[in-house]
Structure formats: structure tokens, C-alpha cells
Amino acid sequence: MSACAEARAASAPLDLADYDHADCLIYGIGNVGRQDDGLGWAFIDWLEEAGLCPSAARQRHYQLQLEDADLLRHQRKVLFVDATRDPSVTDFRVECPRPAMDFSFTSHALSIPALLATCAQCFGYLPEARLLVLRGYAWELKQGLTPRAQKNLGAAQACLAPRSPHPFESKRSQA
């Protein structure tokens, strides 16, 4: 089954229209100066260029910070977008991260589960969260995505872009 088919068939499928609200956040994690680590930011760039989810807040950061727990407590839904080196991800995958306290809060690389757990513990609130992971291949100090990472980003975009209504349906609704 393709990643797109899996994303649509999942028990919690990802529909970008669900994030086009003022109480939603789309959070791109990465670094455009480290090749495929810039996939999270490239996804945010695509949303802006395509005019998708204009009502949602959008953030681009190199990494998660403890202070982001305060940001999350004001959101109903959060979509994190990040690159992965995980070879089990062929192009992209949608995950449902769960809060879990780990030791990442002591490092410069706070995990999404630790951030969610911090939000829940400090503010008694947990937004609905999804994680879109995009497969990357190179993390050298160089600008620009590799061709394979660009292809994976394109696969996610093709799957998640809003569908045009069926021509018959749009004509019928105009009548």
C-alpha cells in the first residue's frame, strides 16, 4: 500500500482542510542549510506558495524548545512536519505522536512526545497532534534538498493537496 493510501486509510487520516483554522498550528522542524533536514520548512513553503491553510499559524524552527509547550496550549490541532532518516519510511508517513516524558528535555533536541507531555503536565491541556515525516537522505552543510527527498516531498504534496471537486458535482451545485 502506498504512503498516500495509508494516510487516507489510517484511523486518523490527515486532511489539510482540518488545519485551516486560527486555532491550528503547522510546525516545520528542520534546517534548510543541511540538505534534506529542510523538508519540514519546504512543506511550510509549499503551503504558503499554494495558498493552503492560510488561517493556520505556521512556524519554522530548527528544533523544538520547552517554551513551545506554551505555544501548543493555545492550539486545538498541531501538525508537526519533520525529516526522517528511518529506512522504514519509503517516502512519507503520518503518525499520531503520544505524550511521553523522555530525557530529550535535557538536550538540544526535544522530542515531540516530550513536548506534548510537557504541555499536558504544565498546562493540563493536550492538543490533537499529528506528525508528517518525510524521508530524507543527506544532512551535509549544503542548501537544497536532494532529488530523492524532493520526490518524497512531492509525493506528500500530491497526496495531501485538496482534491478538486468532481466536475459533475461542481456543476450540479451551481445549478
Domains and CATH numbers, the chain: 3-174 (3.40.50.1450)
**Of 22-26, 50-54, 64-68, 165-169, the least confident:** 165-169
**pLDDT of 175 strictly over 50:** no
Residue-level pLDDT at 164: 56
* Residues 6+ positions from 47 with CB-CB distance below 8 Å: 16, 26, 53, 58
* Residues 6+ positions from 22 with CB-CB distance below 8 Å: 55, 56, 57
Under the banding of pLDDT at 50, 70 and 90, the label for residue 172 is very low
Count Cβ atoms below 10 Å from residue 21 Cβ, excluding itself.
Answer: 15
Give the residue-averaged pLDDT of 19-44: 98
pLDDT tens per residue across span 51-108: 999 999 999 999 999 999 999 999 999 999 999 999 999 999 999 999 999 877 666 6
Query: 66 with 47: CB under 8 angstroms?
Result: no
At 55 the three-state DSSP class reads coil
Residues 31 and 103: their CA atoms lie apart, in Å, by: 23
